[in-house]
Structure 1
């Protein structure tokens, strides 16, 4: 043990303390023999940190009482037992009791050097359980127990070679700082996993049920080949569940044998199992207090007689019955499954014993964890009422609605019994806030648009009010836009939302094969202001309606001018100006419906969102566009999520003699539509300039499989995904699809036909903000297609 001496004047006292500390168990209790007497005064000397009142509390008598030798001996023993003193001595003279103590130093700080496997808080909690921690007296026995506890924690994580040393640093006021020096060493790796007694399933099949494994091509990253006691316990349970889900109710697995090499680096795991018999279900029945719901509750049983028994399905049955009883107010309902086996016939009778308990009221709903977000923002999403029957379905809906706000990393709902009652609970809503402000920066690279940049600032929960305010700016070689929007989801107390937006867009269809025309180019500029309202019509359904004023101006060089002679202008835009004029003013009326049952707005794992929308333009531009979209999320096990997305847009001019306004065409290709193709490149191309024109109809479809990133378990903030995209852009009212210009951009084969792509990507809610990276391969690209395979986007949260 090394002692660091920072204060010279404490050197002697600390040395004395440490000597006494190490010999305390050998020092006899000091209380001189004397005859009983009436106490006139009590004196305590040697205290530095402890209060005199604490010492007096251990005395059996006070001034005026009779003090005996037995009481003195008992007092010394009790003061030693506090662990605060190295030495306790009681002497008496002239009816005065003199108590001399030598205090042990108090641990003022704990420092861990060289520790990476744990954080300080975790180890501090573990050390308190063995009586060691800040504010405690320094005791050699508890110091040794503390080192043993740290070593034990490392062994649980597979660090069998970890060594622990300590340093004591004296501090003023009889305090001491304790520093633990840790040499973690490497985690032992699993080199072999063996099974004995398995007959039905091979060892390779059983190894696949385990998280811990032998070294493989990805274990260098996941660390799954590194041994830990927690992992061993989890894998043992996984093996047990594997057999129980296949009807082996008599399955037994003994305590795994762990063999470690002499250098403490390699581990061999040996499992001994007894598979027993496989059982099929002979009888399924309900018992207990069924509340007259026999037939209804029986519908929740997910197994049938004659099937092989499956423990996971039995647990699902229990969950469903308890959930249904919870919807009826039986918050504390318990359902126990009791399988009774018949080894002679290999059959099992399964009984579900139902104990609904008392019907429960919700007394109060408490909100916690919200620092910025106002209580009312959370409370208005809660569908469970206070002083009403407990309803599990309403509570689940409340949790999902709060989660869908997107303001919180976690949302937990728990219940606590009201003291003194048997039929009341309080609901506790605990949230963990996340940054809801977003500064996003994006960079894209394509074969045509080259580098493009985008940025914006958005606050989803401004001043904790639950309202949204944002500014988004995009700028590229050919396109620019700026949008300011504000959304109040509770514009009225009944839940009607209002969104106000002001926007500017500048757009020029482009073709990289036409030389730079920045000074003499055509442009489409749009200014608009709109207001939309959303009216809830059910728990998950909302109707939208609103109006937007929009001004459009198309700037083209005049025919015959010098600019026109040196500028390649899309013929479609020439025809638009000749038909509608350069400037137009239009009022856009929109109406729509949306249904959203997703469980989260941040990273959905289940549920769906469906919407129908219609936009009608009245004024200089008379047209309509109908749209439909759907998103569906399907959980696959506990780790995977399969997502489907589809959308259809279809537009026409009101008059059959009017063309659909080309400036209202819809585009596809690139981020958000069909990855692998350049932005806006799908669909018709101008026959004169070769520019991307878009179309009046568009169909998009996407399938995406989200998978947990290796080593992150169930963390939804970091996931990788596989995807497949499909889409097409076409024109309505005409069977002709322009294929471009041979000189400018080339002729494209079937530009209005379907395009497909597939690829892989990574999504991460990083400390710097959301990051998404994707690489896509165009599957059926045609001659003349513009491709864009790699894309990424990163933002900063605040």
Structure 2
């Protein structure tokens, strides 16, 4: 047992640099690694997480916060022999990365109390090797361009100018492999199925500059031969082959094979789908047979989901799908979503519905999809659906039938033409419950629109056009999504919306994402959003702002013009509730009014968070947006029509809620197999008057938060009289008397909570 510690000590004495300060003779089999780091003498080019992947020496990662622990708890033995090998590994990695003169050393310090060492790799990168001339040559140094057919020579010249290697850039092994792969892809996408390419570098006498030569062997141009389907005898081969973008006799195109594989897998029937050159193909032949190999998955799929919304409570979602319901890969499904209202409003955040209970929303749909309509790129979906809605504004039933023809040219390049028939029923007798000053003094039902039943036909066009380098973790690309719809029937309108986002890298792992959204609504028939009887029919077509995917810092639809939704409890069965008899702050809520025009923009900087691991990231963002030309119904026809000074003064305040609002914030994200899971905090930079105040406090005053809450107090007895108090006294409502308070009641914390909004997202929502 003495021999190994002695050998270790001798090895460290020989290999360790003179800088090492540890008594290395005390290192034994029980010595562990406490910390491990890197010290860069002349600057850092390569990422630390990539350097860590090259070495065997590991150390525990100290979490920033206890909730962010990662990795196991050890052990982390100190192995001097592996440490010496790590120096060689890092040196080779730097050489492969384009630093031929890199020098790697290490320092070891021993803490005899814990019998643990601190290891530091000292790296001097030196000058990089730069790219000189990049050339392409065929056999015997012949010209590749001369060997190509005339019709693709110009495209070959464009390819050479767009290659990944640029003269004067750092030359590393990855760049050579990338150039070789790009060359092969270009040739195989243009008929050269058997093309071969290899990239070589030729350093000069200094070793700091190297010319690159790509040797190319074209082989013959080939065509697609027989196409065979293997692996599923129960499915007609035609159902599979019709999804392929090529046929026998077409010029060979490797990208078409990859596209065909995506199309076959996209049918949803197969666990595995491979489209490739058949094993029996003879290299160099001008005819290339293609094999399609599939493995069938389950035809019947049942999925279920449960979640929680502060307003809708426990939410249940289920979907049952038959992926080959009538043969031919046709799909039939049943989708159900139910916001039950159970346990809604935890912490006093839930709104009250028109019927007086929690918000409920039930939706059911039966989608049917035909995957092939005259062409593999066209599919058709028929979806009847039914919705029962009881929220803070309306109680209604809606039935619709949607017909959608989808054209898919490529991922993120689609166009959907839809024709939807929709019937909406507001005759359940519950009405529309937003603040109506004309009815506030008597226990009447909320107003009912003139049109209780509305039937509408909508023709829509939705387009997505863009490209991303990675759909889950994009670092470069753009997506534009224009949408246009025209409706006729009991309500008629034209609606247009466009959303665009651009992602650009500004560092090795840092990206900048920008987003813009614009929208406009034009009523074209007799119905008008400014009409009391028609307002609710336009509710889903007006534009709103705020929310996780819009302007963060505000909750959904809460940025911009808003009014009050007031739902008092019924004191006696069969008696219509009196809006003045409120006993809970939950009975008063803000609701977005909606506008005809919308504009919003966002800029987000995504940064790596190496202290927590390579999957972690941080975001810093600034959002801005607004809604303009809101409906005049809430503030005008319903509030000012009351005729009292309090009505007019509150309406004046509601008119000031519009304008451009700005939110800033930051968050953390973690990359999962389904995309990023992010949590963050948005802060309102320029909140409106109502943004900073509880709705019940503005409406009722402080008395609603008393030990025995009520909404109307005798004049002078409420320390902060609200709108209802002022109206009862026949005086104007004074907005300045309502302080910035929330349910917490602690000065600075109250203001902070009213200015902020927590958000959680799953997947790429930006």
Give the TM-score, by structure 2 length: 0.59
- Give runs of aligned pairs for residues 506-521 of structure 1, distance below 5 A: 506-507=388-389, 510=392
Change (3 A) 1:686 1:427: same
1:483 counterpart residue number: 364
CA–CA distance in 2 between the matches of 1:277 and 1:773? 39
Whole-Å separation in 1 of the counterparts to 2:550 and 2:83: 42
- Check if 1:754 corresponds to 2:603: no
Q: Which residue of 2 aligns with 1:666?
A: 543
Aligned to 1:473: 337
Q: Tell me, yes or no, if the aligned pair for 1:485 and 1:501 is still in contact at 8 Å.
A: yes
Report how far residue 221 of structure 1 moved: 0.9
Structure 2 residue matching 1:418: 3-state secondary structure: coil
In 2: Cα distance, 1:467 partner to 1:525 partner? 27
Which residue of 315, 330, 352 corresponds with 1:454? 315
* Structural mapping, 1:125-204, within 5 Å: 189=33, 191-192=35-36, 200-201=42-43
- Which residue of the partner structure matches residue 61 of structure 1? none
Q: List aligned pairs for 1:227-626, cutoff 5 A.
A: 240-245=92-97, 247-249=98-100, 278-289=128-139, 290=144, 291-292=147-148, 293=153, 295-343=157-205, 346-363=208-225, 380-385=242-247, 388-399=250-261, 401=263, 415=277, 417-418=279-280, 421-423=283-285, 424=288, 426=290, 437-445=302-310, 449=311, 452-459=313-320, 462-463=323-324, 465=329, 467=331, 469-475=333-339, 476=341, 477-495=358-376, 496-507=378-389, 510=392, 523-535=395-407, 540-553=413-426, 555=429, 565-566=442-443, 569=446, 577=449, 580-595=450-465, 597=467, 608-626=478-496
State the match for 1:680 in structure 2: 557
CA offset at residue 324 of structure 1? Answer: 0.7
- Tell me the distance in 2 between the aligned counterparts of 1:401 and 1:669: 37
Q: CA deviation at 1:615?
A: 2.0
Q: 1:719 to 1:395 in 2, by over 3 A?
A: farther
* C-alpha contact 1:650 1:696 (8 A) present in aligned 2: yes
- Is the 1:530–1:548 contact (alpha carbons within 8 Å) kept by the matching residues of 2? yes
Number of corresponding residues: 581
Provide Cα deviations, 1:393-435, integer angstroms capped at 9, x if missing partner. 3234345556777888987766565265543464566789799
Report Cα offsets for 1:734-778 as digits up to 9, x if no partner. Answer: 799959988899969634533535443657878xx9996634323
CA distance in 2: counterparts of 1:252 and 1:365, whole angstroms = 55
What secondary structure, in the 3-state scheme, does the structure 2 residue paired with 1:566 have?
coil
Determine the C-alpha separation between the residues in 2 that align with 1:235 and 1:405. 51
Secondary structure class of the residue paired with 1:696: strand
* Counterpart position of 1:518: none
Paired residues of 2:675 and 2:762 also in contact (CA < 8 A): yes
Question: Aligned to 1:692, which of 575, 592, 595?
Answer: 592
Output one character per residue of 1:549-598: Cα deviation in whole Å (capped at 9) or x when no partner: 323426566999999823684xxx66xx2xx5333222222234343656
Q: Is the 8 A contact 1:666 1:698 kept in 2?
A: yes
Equivalent-residue separation in structure 1 for 2:84 and 2:320 (angstroms): 45
Determine helix, strand or coil for the equivalent of 1:320: helix
> How large is the Cα RMSD of the aligned pairs?
5.7
Given that residues 277 and 346 in structure 1 are in contact (C-alpha distance below 8 angstroms), is that contact kept between their aligned partners in structure 2? yes
Which piece of structure 1 moves more, 597-606 or 548-557? Answer: 597-606
> Residues 512-549 of structure 1: CA distance to partner in whole angstroms, max 9, x if unpaired?
xxxxxxxxx86344332332323457893434131323
Correspondence for 1:730: 627
Taking a change above 3 Å as real, the CA distance of residues 218 and 403 of structure 1, as seen in their structure-2 partners, is: farther
Q: Secondary structure at the match of 1:221?
A: coil
Aligned twin of 1:210: 52
Work out the CA distance in 1 between the residues paired with 2:280 and 2:633. Answer: 73
User: Is 1:783 aligned to 2:689, yes or no?
Assistant: yes
Please report how far the alpha carbon of residue 387 of structure 1 lies from its aligned counterpart in structure 2 after TM superposition: 5.5
Correspondence 1:221 to 2:70: yes
Structure 1 residues 394 and 543 mapped into 2: Cα distance closer, same or farther (>3 Å)? same
Mapped to 1, the partners of 2:509 and 2:322 lie a distance apart of 30
The 3-state SS of whatever aligns with 2:70 is helix
1-side partners of 2:219 and 2:294: how far apart?
26
Check the 8 A contact 2:333/2:366 in 1, yes or no: yes
Deviation at 1:188, TM superposition (A): 6.1
CA gap of 1:584–1:347, structure 2 versus 1, over 3 A, is closer
Task: Give 5+ residue unaligned stretches, structure 2.
Answer: 1-28, 342-357, 567-589, 640-646, 695-753
- d(CA) in 2 for partners of 1:489, 1:244: 51
State the Cα distance separating 1:505 from its structure 2 match.
3.9
3-state secondary structure, aligned to 1:440? strand
Give the CA deviation at 1:328: 1.6
In structure 1, the residue matched to 2:722 is: none
Q: In 2 relative to 1, CA 480–589 (structure 1 residues): closer, same or farther, beyond 3 Å?
A: same
Q: Kindly tell me: are residues 411 and 620 of structure 1, through their superposed partners in 2, closer, same or farther at Cα, counting changes over 3 Å?
A: same
Aligned-partner SS, 1:621? coil
Shift of 1:500: 2.4
Q: Provide closer, same or farther for how the CA distance between residues 557 and 618 of structure 1 changes in structure 2, counting only shifts above 3 A.
A: closer
CA distance in 2, matches of 1:337, 1:536: 37
Tell me: CA distance 1:206–1:658, structure 2 relative to 1, closer, same or farther (3 Å).
closer
Return the alpha-carbon distance in structure 2 between the equivalents of residues 603 and 363 of structure 1.
38
Say which one has the larger Rg.
1
| Kept after mapping to 2: 8 A contact 1:667/1:694 | yes
In structure 1, how many angstroms separate the alpha carbons of the residues matched to 2:460 and 2:90? Answer: 54
8 Å contact kept, 2:101–2:126: yes
When residues 737 and 650 of structure 1 are mapped into structure 2, their CA distance, relative to the original with a 3 A threshold, is farther
Please give the secondary structure, in 1, of the residue aligned with 2:595: coil
| Matched-pair contact (CA < 8 Å) for 2:365–2:386 | no
Which protein is richer in strand relative to its size? 1
Alpha-carbon deviation of 1:628?
2.0
Q: CA deviation at 1:651?
A: 0.8
Instruction: Give the 3 Å change call, closer, same or farther, for CA 366–749 of structure 1 in structure 2.
Output: farther
C-alpha distance in structure 2 between counterparts of 1:413 and 1:221, whole Å: 40
Q: 1:719 to 1:589 in 2, by over 3 A?
A: farther
Q: State the secondary structure of the residue aligned to 1:565.
A: coil
Alpha-carbon spacing, 1:538–1:761, altered in 2? closer, same or farther (3 Å)? closer
Q: CA deviation at 1:281?
A: 4.1
